[in-house]
Structure 1
Amino acid sequence: MQSYLQSRRIGLAAKAQVERDLEKARLITLHSTGGGGVDDEPASTRDHDDVSEPPLRPHSPRSEKSLDLDRMSNQNDGNDEEEEGDGGTTNSSSSDTSSDTSTPAERVQTMATVRTQYTSRAALGHSLTGIHARDRRTHEGKGSQVFVVGWEGASDPQDPRNWSVARRIGCTLQISLIAGTVGAGSGIDATVLPQAAAALGVSEVVESLDTALYLVGMGVGSLIAGPFSETFGRNYVYCGSMFIFMVWIMASGLAPNIGAQAVFRFLAGCSASTPLVCSGGSVADMFDGLEKTWGFPLYAISAFGGPMLGAVMGAYIGPSPLISWRWTEWVMLILSGLVMTLIIFFMPETYAPLLLQWKARHLREITGDDRFRSEHEIVEATLFTRLKVSMTRPFVMLTEPIIIAMTLYLSVVYIVLFTFLVGFPYIFEHTYGISQGLSNVIFVAMFIGTEITFVLVPIVYRMTIKEMNLAESRGEGRQFNPEIRLWYAMLGSAVSIPISLFWMGWTDFASISIWSPIFAVALFGYGVMGIFICAYMYIIDAYETYSASALTFVALVRYVAAGGMTVVGIPFYENMGVPYTLTILGSLSCLLVPIPYVLYRWGWMIRKRSKYAVSREI
């Protein structure tokens, strides 16, 4: 709905722009043919340029938009006779124009044809603000000239970066809600492991495949989600993937055995991968580099809480005597339906190339000139070619030290997080004798910990402004080093993860208050969120053009690793015990703590030697 209304608004804006610039184009045409000394091109050149222009189409059908232009053009006819020049050619042109009774689309085409006697650019296409007339390049197919459609100035209200702050925040929160919903799907099923395993006649370890394959599906699906958003736009892909996600969730709820359930959960995970790849692009569509300092955390802090909130949502479904454990899937289905309805009616399209494609289409309809094209349309890149790049280029990042370091860091963090889904009963339920439902409710503490990360946003924001002002004082423009994003990890988040794991592991005894491991869980949430924001924003700013491929590789590895470790989580806790299990995980995270500090000190040197990263240094 919003996309349709948005397209209509872009069409009205294009119509208004043409109405403003049509008189300007007419004057340019008169000037170019009036003998004023501008048209000095030889006849041979003019004859050659005429080949590139479209033929005059006096009988082409007119759209409703061109009818309004007709009235505007006719109002100018009466003034044409008053224009007098030094030479008779100008008077003649004025007389010809005043007697013209053609339609606006025909007048535009006539002006374009006359204009080619002066240059290869049509008058209207040359005069419209934000339109760049140029010859096609060799790889861009047939045709000698195109009018490349851009925004109407830096403050064009149709550009998502120029929307009001409230509108951009609202759109960001909707994207965050999508990510949080599909994230909840990864955590909610783990809350009913005992009941689902008993009903399907399998062990809890086998039933944990349900969660594991969902995570693996999210990783695998990230390879193909990006090209769809670049072809059809963000909004259509969000809506389409949510619908497919709902189909597989419903199938999982109806699955008669563990095999069918595992397959459907894997397919649901593949459909749920869209926010992993597209959300970073959506945020970049609306926020510039400085604004992303608070825009991306606004998305991430809410979205990352999905698995935790999913565990809370399913906390009392399993042990309830009133409803079946399958209600975990029905709850997800209902929630997904509500979110899908919300984004259909209220979420606008943010992908700038698609918006410009809509504008170019409206300009073609208004003027009848097929040369108005967005950059997105000039080179016909098929979905297949985009999929080929998306599925191969991420593996090129295996040679990038920054990508390898951040992938390893996030993989360990996600392994710990998702082993908590099956490990919380051992940490809290078995140790303190609390109920299954209350044990899962403790995930609220972790979610609260993630929200504490908001306190870092104004600190990093001020650091970023300071660095931008320094660069501007040196004449380098308003820019900053990507390493500034590492402060989200360096301000306590990196060390919080091992501290929280050791704290939780060695205070998890019945003789010690349950609040001790609960506070440790909250500290873990703070650390995880800081690392997540740091890794994503650093990769986006360090790799820019290649950031989508880099993030796809990171998502694939971390979700496959987390899915695999979820299966071994139960034997791990049972055989090693809570203290030693968390000690091992804490020791692994200790090895990764220096990563953000090392990259902050020497990251610029790594980027300088990279084939894909930006090499600037403030």
Structure 2
Amino acid sequence: MDQPHDSSKEASPGDIRDDATSIVRDSSDGRPDPSESETSFGAADDAASRLSHFSESDEYSNRDVKPLTDTQEEDKPREGLARSGSRLSVVDSARSLSRIITGREDINKYSNIKEVPSLGTDRQFPFTPDESEFLVEFDGEDDPFHPYNWNIGRKICVSIIVNFYSFCNSLGSALFSESNEGLMQEFEIGNVVATIATSLYVLGFALGPMIWAPMSELFGRRAVFLPASFGFMCFSYAVATAKDLQTVMLCRFFSGFCGGSAMVLSASTIGDIFSAKHRGRAMAPFGLTVCGGPLLGPIIGGFTAKNSSLGWRWNAYWSAFLGSALFVTIFLFLKETFHPVVLSRKADIIRKKTGNWAIHSKQETLSLTLSEIGVKYFARPLFMLFTEPILFLLAIYSGFTYGLIYLLLTAVPLVFSGNYKFSQGVGELPYIAIFIGVGCASIILFLFDIRYKRIISATRTQNAIPEERLPAMMIGGISFAIGLFWFCWTGDFPHKIHWMVPTVGSVFVGLGLLTIFQPAINYVVDTYAGFTASALASMTIVRSILGGVFPLFARQMFTHMHIKWAGTLLGCIALLLIPVPFIFYFYGAGIRSRSQFAAAHLKKD
């Protein structure tokens, strides 16, 4: 009769031999197979002898034993060696023994393999100690391998490259919008169909991050930047040389699909190389490129399309030329910044220097099937979007403001070219006023970043305080709503109000754009530090869908509702969204504590 196991007694090498023997003897029905008994007992004796040799070796016998954590203590009965009295099957018993020898919990994924493959050349399996002893991590806060500790020149170089990438893509979205007249004449299409070329590009921003963001969390940032920038370059050239409308539309979509990587990876890369204390100031250029590109694009595109020696195709060539320079720059100068992949590089260096091939990083132990990759990584942005209230509301707010940038591509020409009779190119110059507002917002964000640094220093910690990113967003929401009412109501009375009045109103729109967009990005990066790319992809999906859809109905809305009433509708929506940053400022910490993605970051802090 089996005796109950006394867990209070320490297992001796002899006990381990008996356990290994009993595991091999016990089958699912309790009867051993006589034909395999000699081989099975030999294997058990060999495993037990190696366990005994390891436990008695001088190298490990005097090593201090670390106490188990609460989690490990709960898992201890589950990980313990199964006794013969439990009547486990041979497979379950083998798994139990494997957990003790290897310390791995994911052995179940290989349950379809009936026998363990051999090493080859009749070699025995070597016994290895706990794999955590060979796990490579950063050596404290001052590890030179950590991207936070790179020299300032290297950080600036990386920041310039990724911000240039986001500028190229955001510029290309609005640059081509001024090619509508050329498309209508050459392919004999209407205005709405011509506008689809801009909408498809921005919708590519929505779908691209669903692929690029998870891939960057698997393979690193550089491994995604290279193919994405190459695709952006190639499809931009394809648009410029297209012979039919179908090619224009398809290549515009895939150009945006590839360029969408910049919308999530640029901010993620900056978050990789700057700590929370310095991240706000480092993120400011990214916000300028994302908001500034669509504002400068119509000005450049308008004068290009107006020039008879250039024409609408050159608006695509500008993007292609910038994409070519971008790809070469990334290939030559961009270094990997994603922390797990950087640790893999560090582990590789240590292996080559020491010759110890057991050294590894956590990233190198990932072994996922296609279905696991799809569920865990590619579906994560959508899952986070609909399960994280912080992410959902900020995505709606920032998406609405970003969508209005593309809606203004129609509103500004209607006001200044339609009402005030400005010519093409000149009618797009008031975008400069919006860009001036974005510049003023940068100054405001800089001042709030100084305030944030003081708060961080006062707490004597380097950990992020996400809610302190939001006061600037509160100001931005109010400014944005005021600017919309001001611009639309004054711009609808050209015979009574000078054109400078709506132009000044658009400054407040630009100020609100960046002071909403940038703090929202910073708040999300601080909150979801371990899932930055996926969280930003969630926001980019909403932002790009709205940015792609708004231009399709913009002309009809402003024409049939008139500019003042269409602006009133948009201004009222902006008023409804003003409380969002206030809610998260006062209740955000409690919401984050209940989040399955943000809570892990809180515990780590």
**Contact conserved, 1:227 with 1:390, CA < 8 A, in 2?**
yes
| Cross-structure match for 2:513 | 528
Q: Does 2:469 correspond to 1:485?
A: yes
Q: Does 2:431 correspond to 1:431?
A: no
Q: 1:581 to 1:138 in 2, by over 3 A?
A: same
The CA deviation at 1:373 is 0.5
Q: 1:312 to 1:404 in 2, by over 3 A?
A: same
Amino acid in structure 1 at the alignment position of 2:477: A
Residue 175 of structure 1: SS of its match in structure 2? helix
| Cross-structure match for 1:99 | none
Please list, as runs of the form range in 1=range in 2, the aligned pairs for 1:19-418 lying within 5 A after superposition.
Answer: 117-119=57-59, 136-139=103-106, 145-146=130-131, 147-381=134-368, 385-396=372-383, 397-418=385-406
**Contact conserved, 2:467 with 2:523, CA < 8 A, in 1?**
yes
Question: Following the alignment from structure 1 to structure 2, what is the Cα–Cα distance between the partners of residues 420 and 116?
Answer: 76
| Cross-structure match for 2:502 | 517
The CA deviation at 1:193 is 1.3
1:378-428 C-alpha deviation (Å, 9 max, x unpaired): 232467643432332233331332222212212221221111113322021
Residue 150 of structure 1: SS of its match in structure 2? coil
Question: Following the alignment from structure 1 to structure 2, what is the Cα–Cα distance between the partners of residues 198 and 173?
Answer: 39
**Contact conserved, 1:242 with 1:272, CA < 8 A, in 2?**
yes
Question: Following the alignment from structure 1 to structure 2, what is the Cα–Cα distance between the partners of residues 519 and 449?
Answer: 9
**Contact conserved, 2:470 with 2:585, CA < 8 A, in 1?**
yes
Question: Following the alignment from structure 1 to structure 2, what is the Cα–Cα distance between the partners of residues 316 and 460?
Answer: 37
Q: 1:390 to 1:428 in 2, by over 3 A?
A: farther
Residue 135 of structure 2: SS of its match in structure 1? strand
Question: Following the alignment from structure 2 to structure 1, what is the Cα–Cα distance between the partners of residues 268 and 527?
Answer: 15
Residue 190 of structure 1: SS of its match in structure 2? helix
Q: 1:198 to 1:157 in 2, by over 3 A?
A: same
1:509-545 C-alpha deviation (Å, 9 max, x unpaired): 3232222222222221111111111111112222333
Question: Following the alignment from structure 1 to structure 2, what is the Cα–Cα distance between the partners of residues 349 and 494?
Answer: 36
Residue of 467, 480, 488 corresponding to 2:455: 467
**Worse-superposed segment, 292-301 or 138-147:** 138-147
Residue of 522, 527, 552 corresponding to 1:542: 527
Residue 302 of structure 2: SS of its match in structure 1? coil
Amino acid in structure 2 at the alignment position of 1:376: Q
Question: Following the alignment from structure 1 to structure 2, what is the Cα–Cα distance between the partners of residues 363 and 298?
Answer: 36
Question: Following the alignment from structure 1 to structure 2, what is the Cα–Cα distance between the partners of residues 220 and 586?
Answer: 29
The CA deviation at 1:498 is 1.1
Question: Following the alignment from structure 1 to structure 2, what is the Cα–Cα distance between the partners of residues 295 and 135?
Answer: 43
Q: Does 2:547 correspond to 1:562?
A: yes
| Cross-structure match for 1:601 | 586
Residue 610 of structure 1: SS of its match in structure 2? coil
1:77-125 C-alpha deviation (Å, 9 max, x unpaired): xxxxxxxxxxxxxxxxxxxxxxxxxxxxxxxxxxxx999943359x9xx
**Contact conserved, 1:219 with 1:555, CA < 8 A, in 2?**
yes
Question: Following the alignment from structure 1 to structure 2, what is the Cα–Cα distance between the partners of residues 144 and 117?
Answer: 12
Q: 1:270 to 1:401 in 2, by over 3 A?
A: same
Q: 1:307 to 1:186 in 2, by over 3 A?
A: same
| Cross-structure match for 1:494 | 477
The CA deviation at 1:244 is 0.7
**What percent of counterpart residues are identical?**
26
Question: Following the alignment from structure 1 to structure 2, what is the Cα–Cα distance between the partners of residues 325 and 243?
Answer: 23
Question: Following the alignment from structure 2 to structure 1, what is the Cα–Cα distance between the partners of residues 16 and 353?
Answer: 26
**Contact conserved, 2:208 with 2:257, CA < 8 A, in 1?**
yes
1:458-496 C-alpha deviation (Å, 9 max, x unpaired): 432343234334544xxxx54453111112212x21111
| Cross-structure match for 1:589 | 574
**Contact conserved, 2:221 with 2:265, CA < 8 A, in 1?**
yes
**Contact conserved, 1:46 with 1:119, CA < 8 A, in 2?**
no
The CA deviation at 1:220 is 0.9
Question: Following the alignment from structure 1 to structure 2, what is the Cα–Cα distance between the partners of residues 288 and 382?
Answer: 33
Question: Following the alignment from structure 1 to structure 2, what is the Cα–Cα distance between the partners of residues 155 and 612?
Answer: 27
**Contact conserved, 2:178 with 2:312, CA < 8 A, in 1?**
no
Q: 1:365 to 1:340 in 2, by over 3 A?
A: same
| Cross-structure match for 1:440 | 428
Question: Following the alignment from structure 1 to structure 2, what is the Cα–Cα distance between the partners of residues 351 and 550?
Answer: 15
Question: Following the alignment from structure 1 to structure 2, what is the Cα–Cα distance between the partners of residues 547 and 343?
Answer: 21
Residue 305 of structure 1: SS of its match in structure 2? helix
The CA deviation at 1:255 is 2.5
Amino acid in structure 2 at the alignment position of 1:444: I
**Contact conserved, 1:249 with 1:268, CA < 8 A, in 2?**
yes
Question: Following the alignment from structure 1 to structure 2, what is the Cα–Cα distance between the partners of residues 545 and 436?
Answer: 47
The CA deviation at 1:216 is 0.9
**Contact conserved, 1:460 with 1:484, CA < 8 A, in 2?**
no
1:262-316 C-alpha deviation (Å, 9 max, x unpaired): 1211111111111122122211210111111211123322343122222222121
Residue 367 of structure 2: SS of its match in structure 1? coil
Q: 1:117 to 1:42 in 2, by over 3 A?
A: farther
**Contact conserved, 2:216 with 2:533, CA < 8 A, in 1?**
no
Question: Following the alignment from structure 2 to structure 1, what is the Cα–Cα distance between the partners of residues 397 and 549?
Answer: 16
Q: 1:46 to 1:347 in 2, by over 3 A?
A: farther
| Cross-structure match for 1:14 | none
1:109-148 C-alpha deviation (Å, 9 max, x unpaired): xxxx999943359x9xxxxxxxxxx964323899654311
1:169-200 C-alpha deviation (Å, 9 max, x unpaired): 23112111100101111101111212221211
Amino acid in structure 1 at the alignment position of 2:468: I
The CA deviation at 1:45 is 12
**Contact conserved, 1:190 with 1:422, CA < 8 A, in 2?**
no
Q: TM-score, normalised by structure 1?
A: 0.75
Question: Following the alignment from structure 1 to structure 2, what is the Cα–Cα distance between the partners of residues 177 and 383?
Answer: 33
Q: 1:540 to 1:582 in 2, by over 3 A?
A: same
| Cross-structure match for 2:490 | 507
Q: Does 2:565 correspond to 1:580?
A: yes
| Cross-structure match for 1:77 | none
Q: 1:438 to 1:116 in 2, by over 3 A?
A: farther
| Cross-structure match for 1:451 | 439
Q: TM-score, normalised by structure 2?
A: 0.76
Residue 58 of structure 2: SS of its match in structure 1? coil
**Worse-superposed segment, 558-567 or 136-145:** 136-145
**Contact conserved, 1:407 with 1:558, CA < 8 A, in 2?**
yes
Amino acid in structure 2 at the alignment position of 1:597: F
